[in-house]
Structure 1
């Protein structure tokens, strides 16, 4: 999942007080300190969910302004909350499922266990055992649902349409980033590494940009130490092609919505992905998307309407598709409007939060 899905980036926030456990009906555990797609999901959803029901996160690596249980409050989970027959423990990783199982079956905590799966591969025997102990299972896409051997509900991720929104003035949005407003920009955002297909994007740009002087490319995302050589090789390719002034490596950016607003086309070139939020973030900013057929991309993009789906790891297909969109200004304009409309009608973050609440409510009704 995409690392850009964050809330309150760059903003100082006061720590929230410890929530009243008696009126906390849902626990969202997060046992991974380093930022990940799962962590980002919790960061995005909790503020919305807290308006709908009493909810709190538990664990490290989360902003202080989120409602969070303190570790000293954990024994209180053994007591029934006020007004509900039990709490919901909503896990998104194996260790969190295991913790819920121990709390429920060993310590007899009044809990029901929910698991969200984004995986698109066959689960290990251990994971299948954990999943069988869940009271409800959510899949983030129909592809993910096919790998689950239990009854599940498909609830696709949504995007914050207030945070990701089109610019009032595209040229000014470009200028504000220190870029050339006379150029159109195609972007590729996410961690710089082989799995994310950054090399495919760079090689595509090396093919298509020389014949399209009105276009340039920007790449944003973190490069970890283990992938520094990979990025250096990409930069060398760009230098050799004489395109260093038109294929820009901008590094990790906290204000990523501003960079989407500078784009006219987005490319998601991943070789593998669990779900993949970047196409939704781009489309919410009225930017059409060319994406590989991995993750949930084929369930997010309407081919020929809001963008195009191509085979993964296929440089020829990517180059042909990107060039076709660059060369058809009318199609770009139509797809821009269609992309924005699609996200607002089907993929709002509020819709995701509401559908998750329906799963909780069903469990509470069943008792």
Structure 2
């Protein structure tokens, strides 16, 4: 009989954390594990689990889940589930309660966000004390977790995220690429500088816009030979995870800088792997990224990355795969972009090295293999 795990995510939001359970379920199945889910009724998490082939157990609220703990325990027993994996700190109350009431249940928690405050009071000591293993998604977050959580170092492990590289490396034919670039507003012959992700103040779009203004000044003074065009890829409203007021603020700043013709807002794109292949440079200026999924997606697509020299991004981007720039310095960003805009051979070389690194280190298969070893109590030393 196949071992079984329940992915527990009682969130009404929609971001990388909420997408994670459905992303790993097909690979869990391929590696021999049967997945179950516990989600809020009507949530996008529940819908994503359904789309991944799992009919989740659903609750109307976190409160209902707590007072229906008996029925959840009965579900675990009926399905022979011995492992629970939580993804939000607010769900650990339920996870720890289940582990307390059912000795032998293995409880795992992934800190997707990166903790910012100490959690050593009596409640957190009880809740985290029930956790078999806490996963940090980067060395940067693990360092913070070691300071914040009431757990010994050996129970907090770094486990990098991974992606299925296939959609990013399949490649677009020349005609498809030209058509998609035109759809994204990129003029023929221009170097496309893309910025994918949620449009919110913490993601660094402000410094990127200011850097492009300085890039435009270089072009006007003859310091830049190639034409370029900026593309912001991401939803434009709250329903797509972005800050509508901030989007409008960015638009006004772009207009004030005279960059209307040089920067396009694409809106949300369901075909991000294809869009990344249609770009020439991908930027990730987020000041405090816990991991940087967009970074490895861009690298898988063979695109050089310019990333912030803070948070976890320096763990992913090296001089062989891209460039780093101070997150608050438009001048540093403009310099890094100028180097890549004017050197197509360099872009190609960095992109090829980035793709190889993803295939070597950041595939979903690699991530899930380490994960199921933990589930089974056979952790890999490589992930420590």
TM range, smaller chain: 0.7 to 0.9
- Return the alpha-carbon distance in structure 2 between the equivalents of residues 170 and 344 of structure 1: 24
182, 199, 202: which one aligns with 1:192: 199
Q: Secondary structure at the match of 1:163?
A: helix
Whether 2:40 is the aligned partner of 1:30: answer no
1:24 is displaced (CA, Å) by 6.0
2:258 corresponds in structure 1 to: 242
Q: Judging changes above 3 Å, is the alpha-carbon distance between structure 1 residues 34 and 236 closer, same or farther for their aligned structure 2 residues?
A: same
Pick the aligned partner of 1:45 from 24, 34, 47. 24
Aligned to 1:161: 165
What is the aligned partner in structure 2 of residue 56 from structure 1?
Answer: 36
- Aligned to 2:264, what secondary structure does the other structure show? strand
Change in CA separation of 1:103 and 1:74 when aligned onto 2, cut-off 3 Å:
same
Q: 1:70 aligned to 2:57?
A: yes
Given candidates 138, 143, 155, the residue that maps to 2:140 is 143
Q: What is the TM-score normalised by the length of structure 2?
A: 0.81
Q: 2:176 aligns with which of 157, 172, 178?
A: 172
Indicate the larger mover: 59-68 or 337-346. Answer: 59-68
In the TM superposition, residue 138 of structure 1 has moved relative to its aligned partner by 1.7
1:114 alignment counterpart: 108
Answer with 288-297 or 169-178: which moved more: 169-178
Q: Distance in 1 between matches of 2:257 and 2:195?
A: 19
Structure 2 equivalent of residue 17 of structure 1: none
Structure 1 gaps of 5+ residues are: 1-21
Contact 1:285–1:340 (8 Å) recurs in 2: yes
Match of 1:6 in 2: none
Other-structure match for 2:214 = 207
> Would the aligned equivalents of 1:25 and 1:54 in 2 still touch at CA under 8 Å?
yes
Distance 1:236 1:209 in 2: 17
Deviates more, 1:94-103 or 1:337-346: 94-103
Q: CA deviation at 1:361?
A: 1.5
SS at 1:235's partner residue? helix
- Aligned pairs, how many? 338
RMSD after superposition: 2.4
Structure 2: gaps of 5 or more residues: 60-70, 380-384
Cα-to-partner distance string for 1:290-347 (whole Å, 9 max, x where unaligned): 1002332111111x21001222222221111111221222211110111111111111
Q: Where does 1:64-103 land on structure 2 (aligned, <5 Å)?
A: 64-66=50-52, 67-71=54-58, 74-77=72-75, 79=77, 87-103=82-98
2:348 is aligned with 1:333: yes
Residue 18 of structure 1 corresponds to none
More helix, by proportion: 2
Residue pair 1:171, 1:181 contacting (<8 A) in 2 also: no
